[in-house]
Copies of this chain bind each other. A is one copy, B any other.
Amino acid sequence: MARPTPLSGFPEWLPDGRIVEQHVLDVLRRTFELHGFAGIETRAVEPLDQLLRKGETSKEVYVLRRLQEDPETPAARGHREAEKGLGLHFDLTVPFARYVLENAGHLAFPFRRYQIQKVWRGERPQDGRFREFVQADVDVVGAGSLPYHYEVELPLVMADALGALRDLGVPPVRILVNNRKVAEGFYRGLGLTDVEAVLRGIDKLDKIGSDAVAEVLVAEAGATPAQAAACLELAAVNGEDTGVVDRVRELAARYDASTDLLEEGLGELGALVAAAAERAPGVLVADLRIARGLDYYTGSVYETVLVGHEDLGSICSGGRYDTLASDGATTYPGVGLSIGVSRLVSRLLSAGLVRATRSVPTAVLVAVTSEERRAASDAVAAALRSRGIPTEVAPSASKFGKQIRHADRRGIPYVWFVGDTSDDGAPAQDEVKDIRTGAQQPADAATWAPPGEDLLPRVVAAG
């Protein structure tokens, strides 16, 4: 087999990169569990008809077929696949909704769950956009109803989780919040009825600028130039405190665009901003320009930027669905957010923002004096491991200098020499060497331990 080349869109990390990713995942899991979210995993596949319910995602789905299934005519096949076929999930929301319906009788609602898994999308790979990637989701789902306070809580859970990553050297984040009711209430108050068209136009602000968006709103959303200008004024509102609510109210009064829906939305947005200013100051920002996803969601909507890396796009998005799932008898509303772990980790690694202090878990390499005495080295390793110290034994009884280089190449900080009274270069009693400083001292495998910071590889800010 010739040397294989990487597959575009399917990221893999070298061992030290995987240590970074694993640390990120551990911190997220730990934070989600501190907030009382239960972890679940769902299968990688869902029935195609469920995956294709949202038309626009159909392009992205990977369809599965067993190799021994004989291909018949394309038409017969297409039919069978549409009816009974399976595809890889492209997010964790569709599978979660199905899991809730399937297991509703065994779950206690409101049900808080986190889920960290790979998802697959057949999109064209780009920087930060993959065909296989890891998502980390938290959602709360209710049976029949779900109080608004969860729309305040969930982004704060993510603020906590992303904040905990700062200890690893991850840059700060800003979670941008909008509310579908505010946007829709304002547009309707202005007299605009094609709300989706307005949202689609506003969504283009970053790409084409406000003049072009105004033209789009006139051409495609049936707005007058004055209405278009008012929509753009709303989109320009942002801030970290409840002053945002006052500014929107002012705007609505000026354009005579107040509606009950707008007031309801402002009440919600105001509560969120107030709680955020208290519990995660500077992290949550109301930003009335956020339009993406507003057509799926029914209340709050969230996007998150990594400060200094805004070009990466959102690394944590989500919102409120009034109907996450429904089995006819019961409707399950939900609110949740999803972190794009692969997008985040790939930037951390490619921009050299963080690094692992070594590429292996091993803290100690036990040297081998001769193959006949390998068992003595194995015994030292077992003693160290029994006290939680990651240890491996040298691959061969080569010269000690070579064994030290073996450790050095992997970043293993300590080499252990097993004591031996014969004349072969080994010390008379056990000694351990810090190969970074060269300091070597007598040690007992039953009691010696490395400093805490050397015990396991750590992830630290690079540079």
Mask: chain A, 8-39; 1 = CB below 8 Å from B; 0 = not: 00111111001101100000000001111111
Q: Which residue in B11, B33, B67, B153 is a CB contact (below 8 Å) of A122?
A: B67
A62→B63 contact, CB < 8 A? no
In the assembled complex, the Cα of A2 lies from the Cα of B328 at a distance in Å of 7
Report chain B residues within 8 Å CB of A87.
67
A338 on the interface (CB 8 Å rule)? no
- Chain copies in the assembled complex: 2
Would A101 and B67 be within 8 Å (CB), given that A18-B39, A36-B391, A112-B360 are in contact? no
Instruction: Judge whether A242 is part of the interface by a CB distance below 8 angstroms.
Output: no
A66 at the interface (CB under 8 A from B): yes
Interface string of A43-72 (1 = CB under 8 A from B): 111000010100000111111111110011
| Contact status B77-A71, CB under 8 Å | yes
Q: Residue A359 at the B interface, CB < 8 A?
A: yes
- Whether B74 contacts A71 by the Cβ 8 Å rule is yes
Nearest-neighbour CB distance to chain B for A128, whole angstroms, equals 17
A246 within 8 A of B: no
* A78 contacts B67, C-beta separation under 8 Å: no
Q: Are A66 and B122 closer than 8 Å at their CB atoms? A: yes
With A34-B390, A327-B2 given, is the CB distance from A64 to B62 under 8 Å? Answer: yes
Q: Which of A325, A328, A391, A392 has the most CB of B within 10 A?
A: A392
Q: Is the CB of A102 within 8 A of B5?
A: yes
Q: Which of A103-111, A170-178, A287-295 contacts B (4 or more CB under 8 A)?
A: A103-111
Partner-binding segment picked from A203-211, A374-382, A428-436: A374-382
Answer whether residue A149 sits at the interface, using C-beta atoms and an 8 A cutoff: yes
CB distance from A340 to the nearest CB of B (A): 16
Question: Using Cβ atoms and an 8 Å threshold, which residues of chain B touch A66?
Answer: 59, 61-63, 122
A92-136 vs B, Cβ < 8 Å mask (1 yes, 0 no): 000000110111101110101100001010100000000010000
Residue of B nearest to A9 (CB): B43
Dominant SS among interface residues on chain A: mixed
- Whether A360 contacts B41 in the complex (CB less than 8 A), given A74-B73, A101-B1, comes out as no
**A41–chain B nearest beta-carbon distance, Å:** 6
Interface status of A7 (Cβ within 8 A of chain B)? yes
- Report the Cα distance A115→B69, complex, angstroms: 30
Q: Please determine whether B278 and A375 come into contact, CB atoms closer than 8 angstroms.
A: yes
- Also in contact, A4 and B101, with CB within 8 A (given A74-B73, A110-B395): yes
- Kindly list chain B residues whose C-beta atoms are within 8 Å of the C-beta of A71: 74, 77-78
**Additional pairs, 8, CB under 8 Å, beyond known A64-B64, A112-B360, A275-B375:** A14-B107, A18-B40, A33-B390, A35-B385, A62-B66, A62-B67, A74-B74, A279-B378
